[in-house]
Amino acid sequence: MKSCSEELLLHLTERGFQGRIVSARRLHDLQEAIEGFHRKGLVDEEFYQERLAWFDFRIPDSLPKAKSIIVVAVPRPQSQAVFKWNGESQTLILPPTYVAYDDTRKMVEDIVEEILEPKGHRIARTKLPLKLLAVRSGLGTYGRNNICYVVGMGSFLQLVAVYSDMPCHKDSWRKVQMMKRCQNCHACRLKCPTGAIASDRFLLCAERCIVFHNEKPGDIPFPTWIDPSWHNCLVGCLHCQKICPENKDFLQWIEGREQFSEKETALLLCGVALDQLSAQTVRKLKKLDLIEYQASLSRNLGVFIRR
Ligand code: SF4
Ligand code: SF4
């Protein structure tokens, strides 16, 4: 008879996902790694405060007897936003994970809960560094670009993790791993226009990454050292993932496309408030999960329209 954890992992595989289960005692390792980078001054302070300081490595109050962490990789596509402007169409990509991020997280949480609940186990949400967790659990491997790759998915995936009170007697916790292929490949480093992927250290210089800047609120202008021609996505950046040979089978995978008329594009470029946009525009933004970034669209879209 299959154990509860075996049954869960099998169920995830049947859906095309992949998962690993690690002991909740590994939280300490995750905390040490993230805080260690900070203590050693290896992470830009602004990046740390905005992107890493919110992690929570404590067992949640809602599940004080949590014993394990279940981490799952779900294949995810790119999406497209098309903006009409001056009689032409500007098609911009949204990288995997921007669209339906919360829906995907919820879907995985529901699946795990449906399987574990009848067996008397409960789950709780995490606030953890998911890439690091996936790599140390054996689910994924880092690329030189510090993105997490999973066999059969490339880097076109979303990670989800939950706590559970299901015991974990044995896990596959391991040291941080970089893909074997990266040893003789520097394609992402050479393609990255900002120098964020350094030749003398593994850790990304995250403060140089375009993503860090184009996800910021729209009233924060791009730093002057970012050349407008470097932008390649409406939000995020795909230069280092598109050039990666590990992703060659997934590059054409685009799902979800919304088109904005000249009038809608003009309003977005002007940065008008959400409540002044038509219901139809708001619906399109919702479908692309751009409500959160609506206030950044004027700046982000502007670099493509004006260049
Ligand atoms: S482009 Fe090359 S070095 Fe970069 S992550 Fe992919 S395989 Fe590794
Ligand atoms: S996402 Fe873009 S800016 Fe960031 S490391 Fe990759 S190529 Fe460089």
Report the alpha-carbon distance of residue 226 to residue 293 in Å, rounded: 20
Strand partners, 123: 164
Which pLDDT score is estimated for 1? 76
Residues 6+ apart with CB under 8 A from 127: 54, 55, 56
Q: Is 285 in the pocket of ligand 1 (CB under 6 A)?
A: no
Ligand 2 neighbourhood includes 242 CB (under 6 angstroms): no
Q: Which of 29, 48, 51, 28 is nearest to 40 (CA)?
A: 48
| Confidence label for 306 from pLDDT (cuts 50, 70 and 90) | confident
Distance of CA 156 from the midpoint of ligand 1 (Å): 14
Is 197's C-beta closer than 6 angstroms to any atom of ligand 2?
yes
pTM recorded for the entire structure: 0.96
Q: Which ligand is nearest to the CA of 142?
A: 1
Distance 139 CA to ligand 2 centre (A): 23
Domain count along the chain: 1
Measured distance CA(296)–CA(301) in Å, rounded: 8
Check residue 173 and give its pLDDT.
97
Instruction: Name the residue range of residue 241's domain.
Output: 4-306
**Amino acid identity, residue 146?**
N
- Ligand lying nearest the CA atom of residue 231: 2
Average pLDDT over the chain, rounded to an integer: 96
**Distinct helix (H) and strand (E) counts, the chain:** 11, 9
Q: What ligand has the least distance to the C-alpha of 47?
A: 2
How far does residue 245's CA lie from ligand 1's centre (Å)?
A: 7
Residue 159 has pLDDT above 80, yes or no: yes
With a cut of 90, say whether residue 265 has pLDDT above it.
Answer: yes
Q: Are residues 285 and 294 in contact, defined by beta-carbon separation less than 8 angstroms?
A: yes
AA identity, residue 235: V
- What's the pLDDT at 99? 96
C-alpha 149 – ligand 1 centre gap (Å): 10
Closest ligand 2 atom to 239 CA: 7
Q: Which residue has the tokens 């510090």?
A: 146
Q: Report residue 47's pLDDT band, with 50, 70 and 90 as the boundaries.
A: very high
**Quick one: CA dihedral 45, 48, 50, 56, positive or negative?**
negative
Give pLDDT tens digits for 76-134: 999 999 999 999 999 999 999 999 999 999 999 999 999 999 999 999 999 999 999 99
**Which helix (H) or strand (E) is 131 found in, with range?**
helix 130-137
**What backbone phi and psi angles, to 5 degrees, belong to 256?**
90, 120
- Using DSSP's 3-state secondary structure scheme, residue 183 falls into helix
Can you give the pLDDT at residue 169?
Answer: 87
Report pLDDT for 262: 97
Res. 307: pLDDT tops 80 = no
pLDDT at 2: 83
Among protein residues, the one with the nearest Cα to ligand 2's atom 6 is: 240
